[in-house]
Structure 1
Amino acid sequence: MCGIAGIAGSSPLNIKSFCKQANELQKHRGPDNQNLYVGSNIGLAHQRLSILDVGSRANQPFSYGGLHLVYNGEIYNYQALRSEYCNDVDFKTDSDTEVLIHLWNLLGMRCLPLLEGMFSFAIYDENLDTVFLARDRWGIKPAVFVHEEETFAFASENKTLIKLLPFKWTINKTSLVAAAKYLWIPGDRTMFNEINEVSPGSCLSYRISANSVEQIIWHDKKDLLNGPNTANSEMFKCLEESIYSHLVADVPVASFLSGGLDSSIITKISSEKIEDLTVFTIGTTSKDKKVESMPDDEKYARKLSQEFGWNQKIISIDESSASLLDKLTYHLDEPIGDPAAINTFLMCSEARINGAKVLLSGMGADEIFTGYRRHRALKLIEKYRLCPSWARYVLRRLVAFLPVRIGSRGLRLSRWLKKFISLDTNSSLCDSYHMSFSYYSDKELRELFSFDIEKELETLNHEFSEVFNSGRTLIESMCYTDISYFMRSLNLYYSDKASMAASVELRVPFIDNNVIKCAMGLADRSKMKKGITKHVLRDFATQKLPSYITERSKASFGSPIRSWISGDMKEDVQVKLNSRDFLELGFFNQEKINDMIKEDLNGSSDRAYQLYELLTMESWFRQFVY
């Protein structure tokens, strides 16, 4: 895994200077080597984190026959592709990079569907005088671009474009509203109108002489909705094969172990191939557990590690970890209000210290096997709506009076009841599911912002319903929406940025093309049965793991933000959210923010994540706008 950047076009910008500075700005993504290629009206920059064929011969940019490649990611089936398509090639390295450039030379964009892995890469073709910029199917690896005036530029990270290009950046108000609503930004948008993500499963082609950009879709995820049915046994085989393929590396591979089902099964199967596997676990203080009312995940991870003889490293987080907010906001490039990014960064930093460049993660299982509480909640809402409207009204009124915290003890059941009741809208299940993603009702969002947000709300509501209503069943709709929204724009987004900030490659075996296709082909009852989520995965795990893991309920992978917001971050909340610079942006209603602060302090409403997101916004504006 690495970092890439490039610039092309007839603008008077200094191409070599851009590439050199891009290498410095993204050096954390590739500390092992930074290099560049500069041609006529084109420059490519690469920052290498050496994973396969770690010698200098595989450094990039990599050139062959008028093609120049910068590539970020891993192609797990590169050896099979090399044998099938490149028998006549005299290879100079054992890297997947060289396989990729020869595949492109032979097949052009037709090679993209053959690639199994995670990637974003750019190829400059001298003969066509064209830059191609491609991204993997699911958006595991990032790529953003700008096409302004006579310039086309791209990078792995937004900050590279923001800091190196002399354009006027304007705030995308839909992204701003989305960041408050979800804590993240869905789709191809970024916080600036001028910068966009390359869509997953697409390839951009930029013809330098014509100054024109064309998008080619090479993978349509809607095909998931029309795939063949999958037997449970086929799913098991597919998952094992994916995990084994994700172990390919010429450097040490370790695993994240939360103590939950997903990371445990990844770790157990990996340990069958890796001797003396090292695992990394996040631990929290008893005080934070009490306020957050959270399960003791590390207890299960410790027990499992002892049972199987894994070398476990526990990374303890506490309120002091919140001091990383500015650092993580800088690396995330966007105001992402999920504190799980802190966990990921600390875990990857510890892995790097212990000599591991590659870390396996169980991310993706919840999205494709219905592992989140909202999946079960929506099925319950479907039945709950059969109750008389007067009974639902009475319950709604009663739940409204429940506190979410008494003193220093958080009341998790009260929080869950309030969230469940908020899903009981008078409209469709689509709207209910949309509300499960949202931290505000539309009414509250209108109160939060000081400008008219009707257009932005309409856009976000329409986009969500278009995705959700694509499914044929409720479970299929939820999984497809999670893959398109939550997995891509939050989980994969922060995982890449936070792990690469620590110069560690994070691999996600559940987010494999064949695994996802198999999962989407499963019968609904294989995913959720009698209210039990991830049924098929639990069934498979019983062959590998003890019952204290396979029968556990879902526990969220996050930092104890409620404890921090009501504790050491309390002063930051008051001062930063009422600072002159933040309020003079003209986006937010100060009275609403202060009402939220009071409600969180007195325990009448759970506002912790909303306030943390606002702190993240303040940090983002301070670092990228002020």
Structure 2
Amino acid sequence: MCGISGLYSTSNSPDTRILERMNDCLNYRGPDESGYFCDGLVGLAHRRLSIVGLDTGRQPIFNEDETISVIFNGEIYNYPELRNNLEPRHTFETDTDTEVLVHLYEEHGLSFVKYLRGMFAFAIWDTDKDRLLLARDRMGIKPLLLADDGDTIAFASELPALLESSIDHGGLDQRAISEYFAFGQIPAPRTIFNNVRKLEPGELVIIDDGDRTHEKFYTPSIERREPSFEDAVDTLRNRIDDAIERRLMSDVPLGAFLSGGIDSSIIVGTMAELIDEQVRTFTVGFDQSLFDESWAAREVADFHNTDHTKFTVTPDDVRDTIPTVLDRLGEPFADPSLIPTYIVSRETSQNVKVALSGDGADELFAGYSKYRGEYYSKYYRSLPKSLRANLITPAINGLEASRSGHRGELVRKAQKFIRGDEETVSDRHFEWNRICSEDTVQTLTTGSPVVAGEERMRDEHRDHVTTLPENRRDDMSRILAVDTRFGLPNQILQKTDLASMYNSLEVRVPFLDQAVVEYALSLPSEYKITRTEQKRVLKRAFEDRLPDSILERNKQGFDMPIGEWFKNELAGEFRDTITGMDTKLFNPREVLDVRDEHVDGNHEHSKFLWSAYVFARWHNRMVDAGVLSSSS
């Protein structure tokens, strides 16, 4: 796992000082080595975290006559097979998966990306053709961003490196800000800045003699399938087993995150079957029992006799960690679980350099509570509309919601459920995902995040429903497909990449293997969720590798009680950060009024308050650094 950056100009050779500054921003992504290469109008820079081919993997890596060079972030899991096919016609100088890329490009040209199985972001420079290629993997596991002012292109693994380039960021993108306050993150291809964009999952950018072409080299190929439930169980198990086994390749110590949920428990149980030595597992717990599931992780660890380590997160840990994490963000990102994910990554990185994670299974197999909400929404919407609007909604919204106890948490979930009282699937889906309630959306004066979010969600449903076969276009299948292609790369995978790479830790996600994703999305919704069960087919496929207590327990999110901390331990920090903002985007006094309402228990505003805090802290830092002007 690594960090990459580079410059391309239509008229000037790259400034090596700028290239070095960009590369220095990514030191934590690759603390083991750095590498540079300049050729005419192109400059490439690389930071390396050594995982495979420890002694021979310094980048850039070249083909035989050094006319093709590559810098690479990620892992190609099928590189042994690819290398075997290429070796009769090419000379390999290293033991790395990276070198496969240059020879595969020589062999197949632009179509070479379709042969890659893994997670990746890379840049290839073809000297003879004056062609630069940039690509991001199919599922969007690894990030790649691009800044372009028409003359110069800069690219990098993270946005702060692009801010070190000479390219004007173009100011704040107002729609991106509205989408941020709708979803808590800024979905690709947008970023917070007008002149900077993210590559989308499965995107290939071709810069050829100054011309820019953006191509999608991958959308899921979801076949029409009608397997019996028993056949689906067997096929799914085989595909997941294969995906996990491929992700065990490493020349450095390897372990797994273990939350105690179904997904990570399957990863750990399968690892225990596949490797001889004791599996090393790592989990994070909370002082507050509502958020703590470390007891479940311990049960799985004992079941598989793992070498298990637990870390407990306290409010003091969060206060100490917030500056470390948030002050590295290139743009606002408001998933609160970034903080505990950072902490478990930090502690895990003291023991191993690679960890496997269960990310992706919830979206593929209907694991989140919002999917149960969607399942039951058809029954709720069958009630008379006047009854819902005039009696049920006011009654539930009148109850006190909080995350300090089980009753308050049930009320919070009930209030979220009735927000999904919408007729169209895209509107319901937006309601399950939005972080603002109707009481808070007017705090932004630049435009309602409800409007921006609803439009974006409708666009995603239009785009992704076409990837599903006609017999899989029911509402639940549509939501799962959109979450897999939209929610995952923009939230979960971005969180995991940031938290892990800040700690020089590589994280691998077997559930997002192409063969697993496409098969899972092809299965009937009733194989995944029923009236009484979620992740049905996944549980059956691995029930022998899971303790009974884990099979029977409900999903618990990897969250932290940030809303309760804003009432108490972090109240002063929140107030000082919000009042310290110099901006026309929203009125700090209105945000503090929302916090007062949250403290009084009239409404539960945790997610909005956290998103406002993260944005304010980011904005204050950008103004202090001169990246943004005052009052922007």
TM-score band (shorter)? Answer: over 0.9
Displacement of 1:622 after TM fit?
2.0
Tell me if 1:357 matches 2:353: yes
Cα 1:399–1:467 shift into 2, 3 Å:
farther
Which letter maps to 1:500? M
In 1, the alpha carbon distance for the partners of 2:123 and 2:526 equals 42
3-state SS in 1 of match to 2:110: helix
In 2, the alpha carbon distance for the partners of 1:79 and 1:483 equals 28
In 2, the alpha carbon distance for the partners of 1:181 and 1:510 equals 27
Tell me if 1:105 matches 2:102: no
Partner of 1:123: 124
Cα 1:201–1:121 shift into 2, 3 Å:
same
Deviations 1:233-287 (A, max 9, x none): 11111011001111011111100000111000001101223312111010111xx
Are 2:57 and 2:96, in contact at CA under 8 Å, matched by a contact in 1? yes
Given candidates 614, 617, 620, the residue that maps to 2:615 is: 617
Tell me if 1:500 matches 2:511: no
Alignment of 1:494-533 (within 5 A): 494-533=495-534
Give 5+ residue unaligned stretches, structure 1: none
Are 1:29 and 1:47, in contact at CA under 8 Å, matched by a contact in 2? yes
Are 1:152 and 1:206, in contact at CA under 8 Å, matched by a contact in 2? no
In 2, the alpha carbon distance for the partners of 1:444 and 1:349 equals 34
Which letter maps to 1:29? R
3-state SS in 1 of match to 2:569: coil
Alignment of 1:8-407 (within 5 A): 8-10=8-10, 12=12, 14-55=14-55, 57-64=56-63, 65=65, 66-207=67-208, 209=209, 211-221=210-220, 223-224=221-222, 226-229=223-226, 231-274=232-275, 275-285=277-287, 288-289=288-289, 293-294=290-291, 296-323=292-319, 324-354=321-351, 356-393=352-389, 394-405=391-402
Cα 1:552–1:457 shift into 2, 3 Å:
closer
* Larger displacement relative to structure 2 (189-198 or 4-13): 4-13
Deviations 1:118-147 (A, max 9, x none): 001000000001110011101101100011
Displacement of 1:206 after TM fit?
0.9
Which letter maps to 1:404? A
Partner of 2:628: none
Displacement of 1:484 after TM fit?
1.9
Which letter maps to 1:59? R
Displacement of 1:442 after TM fit?
6.0
Partner of 1:449: 444
Displacement of 1:171 after TM fit?
0.6
In 2, the alpha carbon distance for the partners of 1:279 and 1:85 equals 37
Count of aligned pairs between the two proteins: 609
Displacement of 1:453 after TM fit?
4.1
In 2, the alpha carbon distance for the partners of 1:452 and 1:303 equals 48
Displacement of 1:38 after TM fit?
0.9
Cα 1:452–1:360 shift into 2, 3 Å:
closer
Cα 1:229–1:75 shift into 2, 3 Å:
farther
In 1, the alpha carbon distance for the partners of 2:568 and 2:266 equals 35
Displacement of 1:197 after TM fit?
0.8
Give 5+ residue unaligned stretches, structure 2: 625-632
Are 1:5 and 1:153, in contact at CA under 8 Å, matched by a contact in 2? yes
Partner of 1:417: 414
Which letter maps to 1:22? M
Are 1:442 and 1:457, in contact at CA under 8 Å, matched by a contact in 2? no
Are 2:13 and 2:42, in contact at CA under 8 Å, matched by a contact in 1? no
In 1, the alpha carbon distance for the partners of 2:575 and 2:147 equals 37
Which letter maps to 1:396? T
Cα 1:408–1:379 shift into 2, 3 Å:
closer
Give the TM-score normalised by the residue count of structure 2.
0.93
Cα 1:51–1:600 shift into 2, 3 Å:
same
Which letter maps to 1:283? G
Deviations 1:45-86 (A, max 9, x none): 01000000111x221011123001000000001001111233
Are 2:182 and 2:453, in contact at CA under 8 Å, matched by a contact in 1? no
Are 1:363 and 1:491, in contact at CA under 8 Å, matched by a contact in 2? yes
Which letter maps to 1:397? P
In 2, the alpha carbon distance for the partners of 1:410 and 1:339 equals 22
Are 1:135 and 1:201, in contact at CA under 8 Å, matched by a contact in 2? yes
3-state SS in 1 of match to 2:429: helix
How big is the alpha-carbon RMSD for the aligned residues of Structure 1 and Structure 2? 1.9
Are 1:331 and 1:498, in contact at CA under 8 Å, matched by a contact in 2? no
Are 2:430 and 2:453, in contact at CA under 8 Å, matched by a contact in 1? no
Displacement of 1:604 after TM fit?
1.6
Deviations 1:447-471 (A, max 9, x none): 1112344874564354244246545
3-state SS in 2 of match to 1:110: helix
Deviations 1:368-389 (A, max 9, x none): 0111111110111111111122
Are 2:188 and 2:199, in contact at CA under 8 Å, matched by a contact in 1? no
In 2, the alpha carbon distance for the partners of 1:548 and 1:412 equals 22
Partner of 1:490: 491
Displacement of 1:13 after TM fit?
7.1
Are 2:357 and 2:509, in contact at CA under 8 Å, matched by a contact in 1? yes
Which letter maps to 2:486? Y
In 1, the alpha carbon distance for the partners of 2:214 and 2:406 equals 52
Displacement of 1:552 after TM fit?
1.3
Deviations 1:519-538 (A, max 9, x none): 01212221112341100011
Cα 1:332–1:263 shift into 2, 3 Å:
farther
Partner of 1:589: 587
Are 2:183 and 2:453, in contact at CA under 8 Å, matched by a contact in 1? no
Cα 1:410–1:46 shift into 2, 3 Å:
farther
Which letter maps to 2:102? I
Cα 1:459–1:303 shift into 2, 3 Å:
closer
Partner of 2:7: 7
In 1, the alpha carbon distance for the partners of 2:32 and 2:492 equals 26
3-state SS in 2 of match to 1:417: helix
* Larger displacement relative to structure 2 (564-573 or 321-330): 321-330
Cα 1:407–1:301 shift into 2, 3 Å:
closer
Given candidates 430, 433, 454, the residue that maps to 1:434 is: 430
Are 1:322 and 1:569, in contact at CA under 8 Å, matched by a contact in 2? no
Are 2:79 and 2:100, in contact at CA under 8 Å, matched by a contact in 1? yes
Are 2:121 and 2:136, in contact at CA under 8 Å, matched by a contact in 1? yes
Cα 1:36–1:468 shift into 2, 3 Å:
closer
Partner of 2:629: none
Cα 1:532–1:409 shift into 2, 3 Å:
closer
Are 1:322 and 1:564, in contact at CA under 8 Å, matched by a contact in 2? no
In 2, the alpha carbon distance for the partners of 1:45 and 1:163 equals 13
Which letter maps to 1:281? T
Percent identity of equivalent pairs = 29
Which letter maps to 1:482? D
In 1, the alpha carbon distance for the partners of 2:438 and 2:409 equals 24
Cα 1:616–1:303 shift into 2, 3 Å:
same
